[in-house]
A and B are shown apart, each in its own frame.
Chain A
């Protein structure tokens, strides 16, 4: 026996080795999940485009048509928009779904095929490999969710930005509602990371690919059903109140119209609308809790002379619009950032929970006595 060789201390791979492994790992993970990516991401992107098209069409119409000249087409666009609502409800769950389909098999496949015996006996060690896996999977899924969340929010939560400014202008941050741009996608990313990690935990418990995926999907459905109201609330952009700067001139005729549309004075003397009110000082406040209403305090409301379907009196300086009226909008007033802090807290809580679950994964894949 070569004793010199026996006594040679050979240390494990360096961090740079592990990083190069991360790159390789990323390639392999992406390749392994290519089918999922090919199936699901086109749906996501297609869904976003589907939502975007009416806005683009509307913007184009606004450019070329006089107000109200093609109401039929505008109505058709609105119907398309409404049909997209189902997709809108499903869309936020797709990146999570992708994350779960990638996360659940990560360890269950290793246990099922026995490849953990190969991986965990190599120089890098199981925990360095776990770190690489987490960096790759959480990085890609978290970043992907953040990007999709940003686009999704930008195009859907604030559609009027696009309708008003066009494609190029809509990507100008100056036209965005501040404070909502980062938080909402961050929540989206945090949710995705949490579900990826929890599906990885399921994989370490079930140890069978199909079983782990099924359990992860069942969990996703349960969570989606149970927390849908909470998610809907958390994802609503304009949960804050926006108030016009100037008093509105409300004449008796307008007041009558408002009453006919379900507005009513509050006990404080304010003039309440379904999701807003006219304050006693004449300013208009709007609270958008239902994203499908497409209310935005950033533009002028204008009448639709073709239908007479007025929410607000023509020519009045109301600072609200109803999107389906389909008229050009003028942004003159920017909503304050009033995003509820609990959304940030919720994101942080989910990231902390994810960290705890990663600790559980380390326990599950560690050597057991």
Chain B
């Protein structure tokens, strides 16, 4: 079963296309949705959460359900980028509101979790720190007992400690409930810590969409000249190192044996992602140059 299936999914704002992709994301994974600013990450999550509709194409959750439907609102919890809670309410009131709005909401779970984090129930939301807001938001989302959690850059505004604690909470929840998570982030370290599947978007288009184990096993840093690396069969060149005559180039190849003549090493996930981002940017620059 797929958590999310997008077919010819397009979204434009004021005529500018911000998303254009086909995509399938599996259930039961912690999926890192990465990409630079304007890559379409938030747009994809907003569509999945039912906040906006696509301009064309379709997106289905759990194979067959429309985002925003009663079914999906009950089964999917969304934590927005700006952790949008009602500032004028207390934490206890936020729990009460969430309880009224969600049939399967477990208020005690939310209260317990928030109390364990040392956050006062009588505190107003506006009095909370960024990290506390994120934790309250996550607690409310988890108390819905959802099958999937959509986290739209929830750690973007957090300090390193708060970010670490938030991610630890997510990981603990995943371990306890086997919930599906889509987690968008700029932070490569976040990505490496919590996710087991990576989806890379750049300029609204899908660059990479696979298990992190697959990513790590199929990508190589190859030390060679540009002409040598171009001569390798059945390998996709992701990133060319032009800083030196003999540089470290990132390539994707399922067959390690074809690279035996080179000095190779395993890149980190961060190196791979950055290489894809550079690749997409240079591709765009090239396209812009061609247009000009």
Interface residues of A (CB under 8 A from B): 1-3, 5-6, 8-14, 17-18, 20-21, 24, 28, 31-32, 113-125, 129, 367-369
Give the CA-CA distance A12 to B80 in the complex, in Å: 21
Interface flags, B144-181, vs A, CB<8A=1, else 0: 11010000000000000000000000000000001010
Interface flags, B78-92, vs A, CB<8A=1, else 0: 101010111111000
Q: Contacts A11-B103, A367-B52 known; A125 to B73 CB distance under 8 Å?
A: yes
Q: With a CB–CB cut-off of 8 A, which chain B residues contact A5?
A: 147, 178
Q: Is the CB of A123 within 8 A of B144?
A: yes
Q: Is the CB of A117 within 8 A of B70?
A: no
Interface centre among B73, B75, B80 (most CB of A within 10 A): B73
Residue of B nearest to A367 (CB): B53
Q: Is the CB of B87 within 8 A of A113?
A: yes
B159 to chain A, nearest CB (A): 21
B94 to chain A, nearest CB (A): 9
Q: Is the CB of A369 within 8 A of B55?
A: yes
Q: Contacts A123-B70, A367-B52 known; A32 to B101 CB distance under 8 Å?
A: no
B232 adjacent to chain A (CB < 8 Å) = no
Top-9 shortest CB links A-B: A1-B28, A114-B84, A122-B101, A21-B100, A367-B53, A117-B80, A123-B102, A12-B70, A121-B78
Interface centre among A1, A2, A9, A24 (most CB of B within 10 A): A1
Q: Contacts A6-B27, A124-B102 known; A118 to B73 CB distance under 8 Å?
A: no
Give the CA-CA distance A227 to B89 in the complex, in Å: 40
Interface flags, B1-41, vs A, CB<8A=1, else 0: 10000000000000000000000000110000000000000
Residue of B nearest to A22 (CB): B100
Query: Which of B82, B93, B96, B98 meets A122, CB within 8 Å?
Result: B98
Q: With a CB–CB cut-off of 8 A, which chain A residues contact B1?
A: 3, 6
Q: Is the CB of B49 within 8 A of A123?
A: no
Q: A1-B178, A5-B178, A117-B46 are in contact. List 17 more A-B contacts (CB 8 A).
A: A1-B27, A1-B180, A5-B147, A6-B62, A9-B71, A10-B145, A12-B70, A12-B73, A28-B89, A113-B87, A117-B82, A117-B84, A118-B80, A122-B101, A123-B104, A367-B52, A369-B53
Q: Is the CB of B51 within 8 A of A11?
A: no
Interface centre among A13, A114, A122 (most CB of B within 10 A): A122
Q: Is the CB of B51 within 8 A of A13?
A: no
B106 adjacent to chain A (CB < 8 Å) = no
**What are 30 pairs between A and B in contact, CB < 8 Å?**
A1-B28, A6-B1, A8-B147, A9-B71, A10-B74, A10-B104, A11-B74, A13-B103, A14-B103, A20-B100, A24-B100, A28-B89, A28-B93, A28-B97, A31-B88, A32-B88, A114-B80, A115-B85, A117-B51, A117-B82, A117-B84, A119-B101, A121-B49, A129-B101, A367-B52, A367-B53, A368-B52, A368-B53, A369-B55, A369-B56
Give the CA-CA distance A121 to B82 in the complex, in Å: 14
Residue of A nearest to B150 (CB): A121
Q: With a CB–CB cut-off of 8 A, which chain A residues contact B204?
A: none
Q: Is the CB of B102 within 8 A of A13?
A: yes
A23 to chain B, nearest CB (A): 9
Q: Is the CB of A17 within 8 A of B55?
A: no
B50 adjacent to chain A (CB < 8 Å) = yes
Give the CA-CA distance A64 to B187 in the complex, in Å: 86
Q: Is the CB of A17 within 8 A of B52?
A: no
Q: With a CB–CB cut-off of 8 A, which chain B residues contact A118?
A: 80, 84-86, 137
A13 to chain B, nearest CB (A): 5
B54 adjacent to chain A (CB < 8 Å) = yes
B68 adjacent to chain A (CB < 8 Å) = yes
Residue of A nearest to B56 (CB): A369
Give the interface SS of chain B, mostly helix, strand, loop or mixed: loop
Interface residues of B (CB under 8 A from A): 1, 27-28, 46, 49-56, 62, 68, 70-71, 73-78, 80, 82, 84-89, 93, 96-98, 100-105, 137, 144-145, 147, 178, 180
Q: Is the CB of B101 within 8 A of A124?
A: yes
Q: Is the CB of B101 within 8 A of A21?
A: yes
A136 to chain B, nearest CB (A): 13
Q: Contacts A1-B178, A369-B53 known; A122 to B73 CB distance under 8 Å?
A: yes
Q: Is the CB of A123 within 8 A of B73?
A: yes
Give the CA-CA distance A125 to B145 in the complex, in Å: 17
B271 to chain A, nearest CB (A): 30
Give the CA-CA distance A306 to B75 in the complex, in Å: 83
Q: With a CB–CB cut-off of 8 A, which chain B residues contact A8?
A: 147
Q: With a CB–CB cut-off of 8 A, which chain B residues contact A116?
A: 51, 84
Query: Which of B62, B68, B89 meets A367, CB within 8 Å?
Result: B68
Q: With a CB–CB cut-off of 8 A, which chain A residues contact B52?
A: 367-369
Q: With a CB–CB cut-off of 8 A, which chain B residues contact A367?
A: 50-53, 68
Give the CA-CA distance A9 to B65 in the complex, in Å: 11
Interface centre among B51, B80, B100 (most CB of A within 10 A): B100
Give the CA-CA distance A369 to B76 in the complex, in Å: 21
Q: With a CB–CB cut-off of 8 A, which chain A residues contact B71?
A: 9-11
B99 to chain A, nearest CB (A): 9
Residue of A nearest to B148 (CB): A6
Give the CA-CA distance A18 to B89 in the complex, in Å: 19
Q: Is the CB of A24 within 8 A of B96?
A: yes
A208 to chain B, nearest CB (A): 16
Give the CA-CA distance A119 to B100 in the complex, in Å: 11
B229 to chain A, nearest CB (A): 40
Q: With a CB–CB cut-off of 8 A, which chain A residues contact B78?
A: 117, 121
Residue of A nearest to B26 (CB): A1
A10 to chain B, nearest CB (A): 4
Q: With a CB–CB cut-off of 8 A, which chain A residues contact B76?
A: 121
Give the CA-CA distance A98 to B216 in the complex, in Å: 62
Q: With a CB–CB cut-off of 8 A, which chain A residues contact B101?
A: 13, 17, 21, 119, 122-124, 129
Q: With a CB–CB cut-off of 8 A, which chain B residues contact A124?
A: 73, 100-102
